[in-house]
Amino acid sequence: MTRLTTEDIYHITTSLNSYDLQLIAKTGHTLAQIASHATKVKEEDLVRLRVGIIPLTCGMGIIGRFSESVQSIVSHLGFDAFVTEAPDAGGLAEAVQRKAGVVMMADDDRFVAINLKTGLVSDNGEATGRGYAAGLDLMVGGLKGKEVLVVGAGPVGRGAAEALAGFGAKVSIYDIDPKRKEALVDYLLSRNITDAVAEGRLEPALYRHRIIIDACPAADYIDLEHLQGDSFIAAPGIPLGLTEEGLRACGERLLHDPLEIGVATMIYDVSRF
């Protein structure tokens, strides 16, 4: 997982309404509706507890505006959310004292949402994969029977692959690490997803697929030559796998943000009845 920078996220707090309009133009649905589609939690069934977001100073430390960005996304979805004054253990104590029912926090390895009342936990990597698969399902008008290439077999790729299969897609997996690629195919098999395949080489797979989830930390590996007139790309997080030219060719058929869809899926995940 690539570590975000303040530059990647500083725009989020002031652009959520325009981002919703972009999502409606691309998928016909809002951020809330995509999170609902990903989690199968209807908006009317959400139990909206107060949400405390806790900055963590461990590892490489606090990312400027990270907690505020998470807070703005969760508030945009109708939750009462606050960033604690204190970080770390003091922040957790403060969140509980301020009657938070859900806490969210991220160190350098994991970003989690925890419902303190039900024990429900959602992990950003897996939730992001699921959220993007849901957005893609809406963007292409239904994935049933369609072939999708997942590049990257980490937590995001795993969440995406399982969700894509759930929407009826035929999933192909590529990862630069053959062991990790095979491990994901084996995991899908263990979940009764029997038609997932491992791609031997990336290049031919990029040419053969018109629907691609870019779930790997590489930049600029999907170029104009790999794209067809009706290619759809879902690209969670930073950096973007598309080149500048590829980006221009994709236009409205690209789903990409640094945090929004993943955070929306997480808070829906832990707020189910």
Binding window for ligand PYL (CB under 6 A); candidates: 1-9, 25-33, 113-121, 239-247: 1-9
CB of 55 to ligand PYL, least distance (A): 4
Should residue 112 be labelled a site residue for ligand PYL when binding is judged by CB under 6 A? no
How far is 154 from 142, CA to CA, in rounded Å? Answer: 24
- Cα–Cα nearest to 20, from 248, 273, 214, 264: 264
Applying CB under 6 A, the site for ligand PYL has a residue count of: 16
CA distance 9 to 31: 17
For the chain, the maximum distance between any two Cα atoms, rounded to a whole number of angstroms, is: 56
Using the rule CB under 6 A, is 43 a contact of ligand PYL? no
55-64 in b/e form (b: 16+ CB < 10 A) is bbeeeeebbe
Among 23, 81, 103, 106, the residue binding ligand PYL under the rule CB under 6 A is 106
Site for ligand PYL contains 4 (CB under 6 A): yes
**Between 167 and 268, CB nearer to ligand PYL:** 268
CB of 53 to ligand PYL, least distance (A): 8
H or E stretch covering 173? strand 170-174
- Does position 107 interact with ligand PYL (CB under 6 A)? The reply is yes
Please, what is the minimum distance in Å from the beta carbon of residue 223 to ligand PYL? Answer: 24
Q: Which amino acid is at 164?
A: L
Query: Given the complex with ligand PYL, which of 6 and 97 has the nearer CB atom?
Result: 6
Using CB under 6 A as the binding rule, whether residue 124 contacts ligand PYL is answered as yes
For residue 257, the one-letter residue type is D
Is residue 6 close enough to count as binding ligand PYL by CB under 6 A?
A: no
Identified binder of ligand PYL from the candidate list 56, 134, 153, 164, rule CB under 6 A: 56
Report how far residue 66's alpha carbon sits from residue 4's, in angstroms, rounded to the nearest whole number: 8
Q: Supply angle C-alpha 170, 208, 229, rounded to 5.
A: 105
By the rule CB under 6 A, 2 interacts with ligand PYL: yes
Shortest distance, CB of residue 131 to ligand PYL, whole angstroms? 12
Phi first, then psi: what are they for 131, rounded to 5°? -65, -40
Q: Is residue 11 classed exposed, middle or buried when 0-12, 13-18 and 19+ CB atoms within 10 A define those classes?
A: middle
Phi, psi of 182 (to 5 degrees): -65, -35
Q: Would you give the binding string for ligand PYL spanning residues 201-240, x where CB under 6 A is met?
A: ------------------------------------x---
Among 111, 132, 174, 232, binds ligand PYL (CB under 6 A): 111
Residue 256 near residue 24 (C-beta atoms within 8 A): no
Strands (E), 107-144: 111-115, 121-123
Q: Which of residues 58-97 bind ligand PYL (CB under 6 A)?
A: 62-63, 66-67
In this complex, which beta carbon is closest to ligand PYL, that of residue 73 or of residue 150?
Answer: 73
Return the residue of 3, 40, 99, 248 that touches ligand PYL, per CB under 6 A.
3
